[in-house]
Structure 1
Amino acid sequence: MGHEVGLHGYDHVKWHDRLNRLSRREIAEQVERAIRIYKGILGVRPESFAGPSWHSTAQSLDLLNQEGFTYSSDTRGVSAFFPETGGVRVPLLQIPTTLPTMDEMLGIDGLDVQGFYKMIISRLRRNLLNVLTVTAR
């Protein structure tokens, strides 16, 4: 039992703010740098990717697929799917985030950390996809 550790990118701000303007080479550099650091820490290649701020483009999805990622989590939703871009199906499975993140919820109606975890547990659904995005800050 345990949990997977996926790749979340190299430069969060650059990906978030400029992904749609980055060249394929620049996207590849971001991904390759992140893979090197991940492998240096964990000793294995990452199998999954989650785009910073849930951002992706046709180029980034194609590149992640070519890099051999099993899936990416660049969306919000309720079930897994294969995205289409420009009418072409991308063979990189998308597994969406299904639950709200802590930073989105803290402070709403006085919600604190303990209350957040209780709320998340109450939203888990048996036999359905339950994906909680957690990032280190």
Structure 2
Amino acid sequence: MKTLALKIDVDTWRGTREGVPQLVEILKRHQAGATFLFSLGPDHTGRAIKRVFRPGFLSKVSRTSVVEHYGIRTLLYGTLLPGPDIGRREAALLRQVRDDGFEVGIHCWDHIKWQDYVAGKDAAWTRAEMQKAVKRFTEVFGTPPRTHGAAGWQMNEAAYALQKEFGLDYASDGRGDCPFQPVDAQGHDLGVPQLPSTLPTLDELIGLDGLTADNVHEHLLALTAAPSEHGHVYTLHAELEGMKLLATFDRLLAGWKAQGYKLVSTAEQFAALDPATLPRCRVLMGEIPGRSGTLALQGATISA
């Protein structure tokens, strides 16, 4: 059966409180599996204001109505308002998602801090951030994490290595075409297998080439009309598909089911793979259409 894995990034306190419950409800209605990746520490969304100087950021903001999706209060957390501790405040809600049958994993400790700085930080900084997230996840769920999906698709080489040290089974930290085993510059295996996101996100599409919240699902469904050998991975956000774009997501779910896809968690998709047969690839930092800045991209296959 064709599979399409749903990977849900939960970036903010508001997205956790308001978006996650609505996503759980709609996924249950469609009998769809999914993986929820939680931000587990402080919500410092307001500190993203410095991205205004990044090329392409203002055009993306104007297309995707950031204030409408995130709300004024969220955009002040970490600046004029203290950042609420998401994992501490919403532990019961997070556990309920797991109890409802969905896979849960780590998105990050502090979303803005990871997304804006990890690519240029050293192993000690990276370990400290990941340890906080792992500790909080274990406190909330009573078990260690098994998967990770990087905030903003931002990583460094130390982060890949630490994922194996922390006992993860696999991760979904970047963008690419198929599952792969990351390798370092010397061609040695690095970290755990990766299931990259294979499809563009709504905020990368809406506002370009006549795409709106009302028709963007048709564009995505055209991309999935032909099945992928290893299945697709679609990343959605609790702050978008779980709130203002819930109706768009509903149309996507119905469309994918009509195309014959089984909608699954990334864990279920990973379980169907043989890690020994995965291509071995370097991870490169590069740009993609519709998103400002660089992010982790699957590179060419490296010969054994």
Q: Same fold (TM over 0.5)?
A: yes
Deviations 1:71-112 (A, max 9, x none): 122222111111111212114101111000111011112322
Quote the residue 1:15 is aligned against.
114
C-alpha displacement of 1:127:
4.8
Distance 1:37 1:112, change over 3 A: farther
Distance 2:107 2:129 in 1: 10
Quote the residue 1:49 is aligned against.
148
Amino acid at match of 2:195: I
Quote the residue 1:114 is aligned against.
214
Distance 2:149 2:108 in 1: 7
Quote the residue 2:189 is aligned against.
89
Amino acid at match of 1:12: H
Distance 1:67 1:35 in 2: 8
TM-score, structure 2 length as denominator? 0.41
Quote the residue 1:66 is aligned against.
165
Distance 1:43 1:136 in 2: 24
Distance 1:122 1:42, change over 3 A: farther
C-alpha displacement of 1:43:
5.2
Candidates 93, 112, 126, aligned match of 2:227: 126
- Contact 2:176-2:198 at 8 Å conserved across structures: yes
Distance 1:108 1:114 in 2: 13
Distance 2:228 2:185 in 1: 33
C-alpha displacement of 1:16:
2.2
- Contact 2:162-2:191 at 8 Å conserved across structures: no
C-alpha displacement of 1:120:
2.0
Distance 1:123 1:46, change over 3 A: farther
Please, which runs of 5 or more residues in structure 1 have no aligned partner? none
Structure number with greater CO (CA < 8 Å, separation at least 6) is 2
Distance 1:8 1:121, change over 3 A: same
Amino acid at match of 2:212: D
State the secondary structure of the residue aligned to 2:126. Answer: helix
TM-score, structure 1 length as denominator? 0.82
Distance 1:102 1:46, change over 3 A: farther
Distance 1:130 1:44 in 2: 28
Distance 1:2 1:119, change over 3 A: same
Task: Give RMSD over aligned pairs.
Answer: 2.2
C-alpha displacement of 1:11:
1.9
Identity of aligned residues (%): 26
Distance 1:112 1:43 in 2: 42
State the secondary structure of the residue aligned to 1:132. Answer: strand
C-alpha displacement of 1:22:
2.7
Distance 2:218 2:142 in 1: 34
Amino acid at match of 2:227: R
**Which protein shows a greater Rg?**
2
